[in-house]
């Protein structure tokens, strides 16, 4: 309950911040629409030359684009600004204040910044998913949609956990300023089904920087390609990676309070 | 009554990687690092009662900030014990964090992009301050610091002094019972320093909060603290009343003389020559308190003295001497 | 002049060398999209035999060469120079007796480029063995012809970006403008897919824009896919665009500096 209240406080503060930069918000939304246009055009170009990509149809790629944009929104609205603030706080020492606040520091570090206008992006992403699922005309059952939602959440948690680990590394390597670049750079791979990638790339985006876990795999669940064992497996991976990330974060904090001066 | 802050044999040793110059050394250190122990704080003991305002002094690198960080819970000590309000600080219990505050003059807690008012409301949520208590506290802080005109502007548009007022207020919204202040007046001009000082005195009087502060400005310390603790190279050097310090550590007086032909006379045989920036016309020597009469008459007899003054050495110098002992 | 360039080189090389760790990250950004497009199009070509006459090997060679051309012709002016206008630190550069954009920023950019190309060679070799392209139809003459073309492409791209960055004299939203410009490059340069696979309309417009000089034209030169008439046409359009870019940059720069000193930022 208190967590929700805190989140709403963060949100209010961030609304204030974005109101201070109103015109930028409008420009950002326009640019965002431009990129959406580009994404649709590029899919159109691909599908004017073929009817399936990696076995998936146009509608499914639209739905995938929706999932990708969901992950991208989380990246741009939460991961990116909070990482920037976190790196800054390590550099200028204001991390000390964060630690001394009577709230879970991992929560504080990861949710205190929210790029508010990206809510619009979220709506767009969900629209794309709904439209894409409808277009694909698959025999989508309610169960498939449920497992899709479950695995999309799981995938998001996996990426969140990886992010925690990456920024926690800064406690050991203070100069590790590029901590989320690897995540950000590989994010684009989530636009297309991982099945089209060569094996080595598929291994990278599934196991090392698991973008595909949040994009391709939930879509596979939607298509009914996963059996219940696999669904359960991925779900467990999500839980375990979150627990691991919490551990790494705590160890990082300990390191920080042991070594800083 | 048990003291609010108890520190027993508190120690902190850092391991600092030793690195030599050169490429070969860099490669070697990649595989096997050599570490050097730096003893930042060594077996420090003191205790502070509720409501006391204590100045915590020492030259740069003496271990002041390290000690404050251990007492606020940011650092784990490598040895010894500390208890603040009955808590062990570095366990970082939420109840403890809600009962104390750490304000560092060189670090910002407020967001630059938004008005302080919004950051204050965020702190209210983080510290779970009930609405009526928040309003009451804010009213009191506003009375003392005249915050209201500053609240609506983005923090980046405030002057340094205004920002510091907001920073301190932000750190006090949850009515902490213990305040750790690390250089709260650093970088401020004289009037700014005086404002903060007066505020702290008044705050202490009203709330009975315990305050431990470090400052480079001795005026902060002399105005606020009856008691000071001095550490140097990690070790406790002095703990006691500020007025006793000069008697104990530096039973000296300063004799200032104005001479006709100042440069041709050597005063070093009468006592240690010291510089005094504020009064460059005179030459100053420092002598033991007991020798003042004898040396004064000698000076008057030997030299063409225009004017002569006898004063206590400034507290800064006394403390400096304490450091150097 | 030679001495100035030499000293500038020393300073900027040292500066870029400081940031060599960031370089790896930059390489990663620059690598990901082309590899993804490569994977997408080869998978389609493999499934259908060919796409509009392009076989899987055509796509592989196209994108592997694209990595080189993109590396050589792209620039980072906006990053070196954009914030200098906005935070006012440009004033210090303006009073120096050399043109900031055409000397120090340019040399800084080139130092960055040399360093990235050094880092990029092993990466490219790894990619070569991962994708095993068949480069047998590539001739030395094509490679030689592509070098001045890429330099031309770099100069045009550099000056256009510098012109856009100089808009920062008027607006704080120069990064947004640059993002829009970046989208234009993506659309018209052949970065996403060889231009002939783009919609007819895009291809037609691309003929009248400089962007294919950055990517598509040098790639086709290296792959030996152009007739001599097309080669000449490409070079001529490159020189024309260089002239346009010089004039455009000069005009924006001069007015911008005038405005900057008038406002006294």
Could you tell me if C201 lies within 8 Å of chain A, comparing CB atoms? Answer: no
What's the pLDDT at B279? 67
Which residue in chain C is spatially nearest to A49 when comparing CA positions?
C51
What's the pLDDT at C217? 95
Q: Do A102 and B121 make contact, defined as CB atoms within 8 angstroms?
A: no
Could you tell me if A27 lies within 8 Å of chain C, comparing CB atoms? Answer: yes
Could you tell me if A28 lies within 8 Å of chain C, comparing CB atoms? Answer: yes
Closest by Cβ to B74, choosing from A102, A103, A257: A257
For tokens 């206590």, the residue is B312
List CB contacts of C18: < 8 A, sequence separation 6 or more.
none
Q: How many beta-carbon pairs under 8 angstroms link A with C?
A: 75
What's the pLDDT at C93? 75
| CA-wise closest residue to B324 among B250, B217, B243 | B250
Domain coordinates of chain C in residue numbers?
A: 2-263
Dihedral sign (CA C219, C223, C226, C228): positive
DSSP letters of B23-73? HHHHHHHHHS-EEEEEEEEEEEEEEE-TT-EEEEE-STTSSHHHHHHHHHT
**Dihedral angle over CA of B204, B207, B210, B214, nearest 10:** -40
Q: Do A188 and C32 make contact, defined as CB atoms within 8 angstroms?
A: yes
Q: Do chains B and C touch (3 or more CB pairs under 8 A)?
A: no
What's the pLDDT at B22? 58
List CB contacts of A184: < 8 A, sequence separation 6 or more.
A75, A80
d(CA A67, CA A170): 29
User: Which chain A positions have a beta carbon within 8 Å of B69's beta carbon?
Assistant: 96, 260
d(CA C10, CA C62): 35
d(CA A178, CA C25): 7
Closest by Cβ to C36, choosing from A27, A45, A188: A188
The backbone torsions φ and ψ at residue B167, rounded to the nearest 5 degrees and listed phi first, read -60, -45
Q: Do B92 and A101 make contact, defined as CB atoms within 8 angstroms?
A: no
Closest by Cβ to B98, choosing from A12, A17, A102: A102
Token reading at A53: 């990509």
**Dihedral angle over CA of A201, A204, A207, A212, nearest 10:** -60
d(CA C57, CA C128): 12
| CA-wise closest residue to A127 among A36, A48, A38 | A36
What confidence category does residue A167 fall into, taking pLDDT thresholds of 50, 70 and 90?
very high
DSSP letters of A7-75? HHHHHHHHHHHHHHTHHHHHHHHHHHHHHHHHHHHHHHHHHHH-S-BTTB-HHHHHHHHHHHHHHHHHI
What spatial distance separates the first Cα and last Cα of chain A, rounded to whole Å? 36
The percent of residues in chain C predicted with pLDDT above 70, rounded, is 96
ipTM: 0.87
d(CA A218, CA B249): 74
Closest by Cβ to B76, choosing from A10, A12, A258: A258
Q: Do A260 and B66 make contact, defined as CB atoms within 8 angstroms?
A: no
Pick the residue of A39, A50, A179, A204 with the most C CBs within 10 A to test the interface with C by mutation.
A50
List CB contacts of A95: < 8 A, sequence separation 6 or more.
A86, A89, A256
Q: What's the CATH architecture for B5-246?
A: 3-Layer(aba) Sandwich (3.40)
Find the radius of gyration of the CA atoms of chain A: 19
Q: Can you tell me the mean pLDDT for A219-239?
A: 90
Q: Do A99 and B74 make contact, defined as CB atoms within 8 angstroms?
A: yes
What spatial distance separates the first Cα and last Cα of chain C, rounded to whole Å? 30
d(CA B61, CA C111): 40
Asked if residues C8 and C110 have their Cβ atoms less than 8 Å apart, the reply is no
Dihedral sign (CA C227, C143, C152, C220): positive
User: Which chain A positions have a beta carbon within 8 Å of C33's beta carbon?
Assistant: 188
What's the pLDDT at A79? 93
User: Which chain B positions have a beta carbon within 8 Å of A20's beta carbon?
Assistant: 113-114, 154
For tokens 């480069």, the residue is C135
Pick the residue of C20, C33, C44 with the most A CBs within 10 A to test the interface with A by mutation.
C44
| CA-wise closest residue to C56 among C35, C42, C44, C36 | C42
Token reading at C24: 């790896």
Mean pLDDT by 10 residues, chain B (325 residues): 89 77 61 77 93 89 88 90 93 91 86 84 88 92 89 87 90 93 86 88 92 86 89 88 75 80 74 71 80 85 83 73 67
CATH no. for B250-324: 3.30.70
**pLDDT > 50? residue A216:** yes
Asked if residues B46 and B64 have their Cβ atoms less than 8 Å apart, the reply is no
Give the strand order in the sheet containing B305-311.
B272-274, B283-288, B252-259, B305-311
Dihedral sign (CA C77, C83, C86, C89): negative
Would the pTM of this model clear 0.95, i.e. be above it? no
d(CA C126, CA C134): 15
Helix and strand element counts for chain A (H, E): 13, 0
Q: Do chains A and B touch (3 or more CB pairs under 8 A)?
A: yes
Q: How many beta-carbon pairs under 8 angstroms link A with B?
A: 81
What's the pLDDT at B176? 93
User: Which chain A positions have a beta carbon within 8 Å of B109's beta carbon?
Assistant: 94, 97
Could you tell me if B122 lies within 8 Å of chain A, comparing CB atoms? Answer: yes
Closest by Cβ to C25, choosing from A53, A181, A196: A181
Could you tell me if A20 lies within 8 Å of chain B, comparing CB atoms? Answer: yes
The alpha carbon of residue A1 is apart from the nearest alpha carbon of chain C, in Å, by: 39
**pLDDT > 80? residue A201:** yes
Q: Do A38 and C186 make contact, defined as CB atoms within 8 angstroms?
A: yes
Q: Do C176 and A28 make contact, defined as CB atoms within 8 angstroms?
A: yes
Domain coordinates of chain B in residue numbers?
A: 5-246, 250-324
Q: At what angle do helices C106-131 and C2-18 cross, to 10 degrees?
A: 50
Task: Identify the residue with better confidence: A21 or B106.
Answer: B106
User: Which chain C positions have a beta carbon within 8 Å of A191's beta carbon?
Assistant: 36
Asked if residues B58 and B231 have their Cβ atoms less than 8 Å apart, the reply is yes
Token reading at B221: 């310390």
Please tell me the total number of residues recorded for chain A in this structure.
Answer: 261
For tokens 């014990």, the residue is B81
Long-range contacts of C103-106 (CB under 8 A, 24+ apart): C103/C4, C103/C5, C103/C8, C104/C8, C104/C12, C105/C77, C105/C80, C105/C81, C105/C162, C106/C158
Q: Do A185 and C39 make contact, defined as CB atoms within 8 angstroms?
A: no
Which residue in chain C is spatially nearest to A47 when comparing CA positions?
C44
Asked if residues C51 and C172 have their Cβ atoms less than 8 Å apart, the reply is no
Q: Do B108 and A94 make contact, defined as CB atoms within 8 angstroms?
A: yes
**pLDDT > 50? residue A261:** no
Residues 220-239 of A with CB under 8 A from C: none
The alpha carbon of residue A100 is apart from the nearest alpha carbon of chain B, in Å, by: 6
What spatial distance separates the first Cα and last Cα of chain B, rounded to whole Å? 35
- For chain C, 265 residues long, give each residue's pLDDT as a single digit of tens: 777 778 878 777 777 777 776 777 788 888 999 999 999 999 999 988 889 889 999 999 999 999 999 999 999 888 888 777 767 677 777 777 778 888 888 888 888 888 888 888 999 999 999 999 999 888 899 999 999 999 999 999 999 999 999 998 888 788 899 999 999 999 999 999 999 999 999 999 999 999 999 999 999 999 999 999 999 999 999 999 999 999 999 999 999 888 877 665 4
d(CA A148, CA B54): 61
User: Is beta strand B272-274 parallel, antiparallel or unpaired with respect to B305-311?
Assistant: unpaired
- Which residues are paired to B256 by β-bridges? B284, B309
Asked if residues B85 and B72 have their Cβ atoms less than 8 Å apart, the reply is no
Residue A225: C-alpha distances to residues A98, A216, A218, B242 (Å): 44, 11, 10, 78
Closest by Cβ to A198, choosing from C39, C173, C179: C39
Range of lowest pLDDT (A84-98, A243-257, B46-60, C221-235): A84-98
Residue B61 falls in which region: left (phi positive, over 0), alpha (psi -120 to 50) or beta: left
């Amino acid at each position: 309950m208190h967590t929700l209240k805190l989140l709403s406080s963060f949100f209010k503060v961030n609304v204030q911040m974005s109101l201070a930069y109103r015109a930028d918000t409008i420009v950002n939304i326009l640019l965002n629409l431009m990129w959406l246009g580009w994404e649709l055009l590029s899919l159109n170009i691909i599908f004017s030359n073929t009817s399936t990509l990696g076995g998936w149809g146009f509608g499914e790629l639209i739905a995938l684009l929706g999932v990708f944009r969901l992950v991208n929104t989380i990246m741009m609205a939460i991961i990116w600004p909070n990482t920037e603030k976190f790196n800054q706080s390590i550099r200028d020492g204001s991390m000390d204040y964060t630690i001394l606040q009577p709230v879970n520091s991992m929560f504080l570090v990861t949710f205190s910044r929210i790029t508010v206008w990206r809510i619009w992006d979220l709506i767009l992403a969900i629209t794309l998913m709904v439209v894409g699922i409808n277009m694909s005309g698959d025999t989508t059952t309610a169960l498939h949609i449920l497992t899709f939602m479950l695995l999309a959440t799981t995938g998001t948690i996996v990426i969140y956990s990886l992010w925690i680990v990456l920024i926690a590394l800064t406690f050991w390597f203070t100069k590790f300023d590029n901590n989320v670049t690897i995540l950000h750079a590989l994010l684009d791979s989530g636009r297309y089904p991982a099945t089209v990638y060569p094996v080595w790339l598929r291994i990278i985006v599934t196991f090392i920087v698991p973008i595909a876990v949040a994009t391709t795999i939930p879509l596979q669940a939607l298509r009914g390609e996963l059996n219940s064992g696999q669904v359960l497996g991925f779900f467990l991976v999500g839980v375990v990676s979150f627990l691991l990330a919490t551990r790494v974060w705590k160890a990082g904090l300990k390191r920080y309070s042991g070594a800083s001066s | 009554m048990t003291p609010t802050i108890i520190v027993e044999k508190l120690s902190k040793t850092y391991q600092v990687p030793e690195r030599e110059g050169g490429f070969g050394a860099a490669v070697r250190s990649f595989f096997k690092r050599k570490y050097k122990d730096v003893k930042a704080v060594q077996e420090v003991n003191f205790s502070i009662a509720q409501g006391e305002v204590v100045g915590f002094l020492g030259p740069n690198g003496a271990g002041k900030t390290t000690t404050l960080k251990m007492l606020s819970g940011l650092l784990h000590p490598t040895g010894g014990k500390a208890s603040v309000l009955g808590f062990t600080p570095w366990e970082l219990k939420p109840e403890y964090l809600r009962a104390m505050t750490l304000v560092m003059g060189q670090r910002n807690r407020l967001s630059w992009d938004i008005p302080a008012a919004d950051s204050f409301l965020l702190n209210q949520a983080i510290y779970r301050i009930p609405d009526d208590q928040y309003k009451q506290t804010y009213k009191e802080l506003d009375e003392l610091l005249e915050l209201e005109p500053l609240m609506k502007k983005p923090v980046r548009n405030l002057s340094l002094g205004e920002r510091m007022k907001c920073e301190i207020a932000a750190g006090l919204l949850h009515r902490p019972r213990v305040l750790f202040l690390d250089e709260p007046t650093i970088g401020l001009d004289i009037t700014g320093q005086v404002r903060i000082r007066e505020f702290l005195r008044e705050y202490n009087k009203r709330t009975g909060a315990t305050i431990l502060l470090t400052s480079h400005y001795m005026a902060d310390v002399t105005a606020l603290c009856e008691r000071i603790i001095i550490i140097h190279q990690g070790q406790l050097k002095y703990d006691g009343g500020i007025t006793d310090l000069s008697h104990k550590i530096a039973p000296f007086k300063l004799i200032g003389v104005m001479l006709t032909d100042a440069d041709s006379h050597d005063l070093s045989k009468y006592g240690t020559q010291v510089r005094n920036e504020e009064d460059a016309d005179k030459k100053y020597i420092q002598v033991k308190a007991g020798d003042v009469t004898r040396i004064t008459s000698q000076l008057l007899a030997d030299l063409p003295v225009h004017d002569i003054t006898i004063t206590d050495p400034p507290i800064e110098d006394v403390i400096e001497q304490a450091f150097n002992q | 002049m030679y001495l100035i360039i030499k000293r500038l080189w020393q300073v900027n090389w040292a500066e870029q060398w400081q940031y060599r760790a960031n370089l790896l990250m930059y390489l990663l950004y620059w690598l990901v999209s082309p590899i993804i497009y490569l994977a997408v199009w080869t998978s389609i070509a493999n499934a259908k035999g060919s796409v509009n006459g392009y076989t899987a090997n055509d796509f592989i060679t196209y994108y592997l060469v694209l990595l080189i051309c993109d590396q050589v012709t792209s620039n980072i002016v906006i990053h070196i120079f954009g914030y200098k206008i906005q935070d006012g630190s440009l004033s210090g550069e303006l009073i120096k007796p050399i043109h900031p954009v055409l000397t120090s920023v340019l040399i800084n950019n080139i130092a960055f480029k040399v360093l990235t190309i050094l880092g990029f060679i092993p990466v490219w070799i790894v990619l070569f063995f991962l994708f095993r392209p068949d480069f047998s139809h590539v001739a030395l003459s094509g490679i030689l012809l592509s070098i001045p073309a890429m330099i031309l492409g770099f100069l045009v791209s550099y000056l256009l970006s510098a012109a856009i960055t100089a808009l920062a004299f008027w607006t704080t939203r120069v990064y947004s403008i640059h993002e829009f410009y970046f989208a234009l490059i993506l659309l018209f340069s052949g970065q996403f897919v060889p231009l002939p696979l783009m919609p007819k309309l895009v291809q037609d417009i691309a003929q009248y824009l400089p962007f294919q000089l950055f990517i598509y034209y040098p790639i086709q030169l290296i792959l030996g896919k152009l007739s001599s008439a097309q080669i000449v046409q490409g070079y001529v359009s490159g020189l024309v665009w260089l002239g346009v870019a010089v004039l455009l940059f000069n005009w924006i720069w001069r007015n911008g500096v005038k405005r900057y000193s008038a406002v006294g930022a």
